[in-house]
């Protein structure tokens, strides 16, 4: 077992993200999992990511606040304990339209080595 204390998580630059803070928990430079990259993202009001698409599968789990996910012009609002799956190369946009910070747990399939 490998334990990661939230206080030890390190920030990283997430491409095409705005008005947010991203913290890596496992995978990539954080070590641990070879199959998953797991992190936490805090989106400020008005913050978001995309629109873009990438090959890895993604799962977003809302911990606090709410985010709007836009896929193919369809908007879905996710609130605490809501989870969504984004398929490979599925074009998505994330927006925090609320007035509070929105925090999500992100799990992304790691690229093959």
- pLDDT recorded at residue 1: 93
Assess if residue 112 is contained within a domain.
no
Assess if residue 15 is contained within a domain.
no
Assess if residue 87 is contained within a domain.
yes
> What is the domain extent for residue 82?
48-99
Question: In this model, does residue 112 exceed pLDDT 80?
Answer: no
List the beta bridge partners of residue 76: 69
Assess if residue 107 is contained within a domain.
no
Q: Tell me the pLDDT tens digit for each residue of 12-25.
A: 999 999 999 999 99
Mean pLDDT of the chain: 96
Locate the DSSP E strands across 1-113: 10-11, 17-26, 36-52, 58-64, 67-71, 74-78, 83-86, 92-95, 102-109
Assess if residue 105 is contained within a domain.
no
Assess if residue 43 is contained within a domain.
no
The model's pTM is 0.94
State the total domains in the chain: 1
Assess if residue 90 is contained within a domain.
yes
Using CA atoms, how far apart are residues 32 and 28, in angstroms rounded to an integer?
8
- pLDDT recorded at residue 32: 92
For the domain that residue 79 is a member of, what is the CATH number? 2.60.120.10
Q: Tell me the pLDDT tens digit for each residue of 67-104.
A: 999 999 999 999 999 999 999 999 999 999 999 999 99
Assess if residue 58 is contained within a domain.
yes
């Amino acid at each position: 077992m490998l334990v990661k204390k939230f206080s030890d998580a390190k920030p990283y630059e997430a491409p095409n993200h705005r008005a947010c803070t991203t913290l890596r928990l496992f995978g990539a430079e954080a070590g641990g999992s070879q199959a998953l990259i797991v992190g936490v993202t805090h989106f400020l009001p008005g913050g978001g990511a995309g629109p873009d698409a990438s090959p890895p599968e993604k799962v977003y789990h809302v911990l606090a606040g709410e985010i709007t996910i836009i896929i193919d012009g369809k908007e879905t609002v996710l609130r605490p304990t809501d989870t969504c799956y984004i398929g490979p190369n599925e074009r998505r946009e994330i927006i925090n339209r609320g007035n509070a910070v929105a925090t999500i747990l992100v799990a992304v399939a790691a690229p093959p080595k």
